[in-house]
């Protein structure tokens, strides 16, 4: 039987920082779009898929800074899509 993987514990501060960073990123992007909504589920999917592709490219380049940025971009794209429906 395989041993379970031991994972570090996220602190409340780590989680709060991630939520705050994603909130700030979302509102920064929203201001750039002048509060413009995404117009369809297909557009939402295309935006999210593009961000996931960019995440994969950062992973292949072993670029942790860019990887983290793309995670924020994915979260933001998902929130835009969710808010737009």
pLDDT > 90? residue 79: yes
Distance CA 29, CA 24 (A): 9
Distance CA 77, CA 71 (A): 10
pLDDT for 40 equals 95
Q: Is residue 62 left, alpha or beta, with left meaning phi > 0 and alpha meaning psi from -120 to 50?
A: left
Question: Smallest Cα–Cα separation from 19: which of 11, 9, 7?
Answer: 11
pTM of the model: 0.87
For residue 80, name the pLDDT band (cuts at 50, 70, 90). Answer: very high
Distance of CA 62 to the CA centre of its chain: 18
Out of 4-18, 24-38, 51-65, the most confident range is 51-65
Largest distance between two CA atoms of the chain:
54
């Amino acid at each position: 039987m395989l041993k379970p993987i031991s994972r570090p514990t996220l602190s409340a501060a780590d989680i709060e920082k991630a939520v705050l960073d994603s909130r700030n990123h979302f509102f920064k992007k929203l201001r750039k779009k002048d509060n413009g909504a995404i117009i369809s589920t297909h557009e939402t999917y295309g935006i999210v898929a593009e961000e996931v592709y960019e995440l994969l490219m950062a992973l292949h380049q072993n670029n942790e800074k860019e990887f983290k940025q793309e995670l924020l971009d994915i979260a933001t794209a998902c929130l835009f899509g969710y808010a737009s429906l």
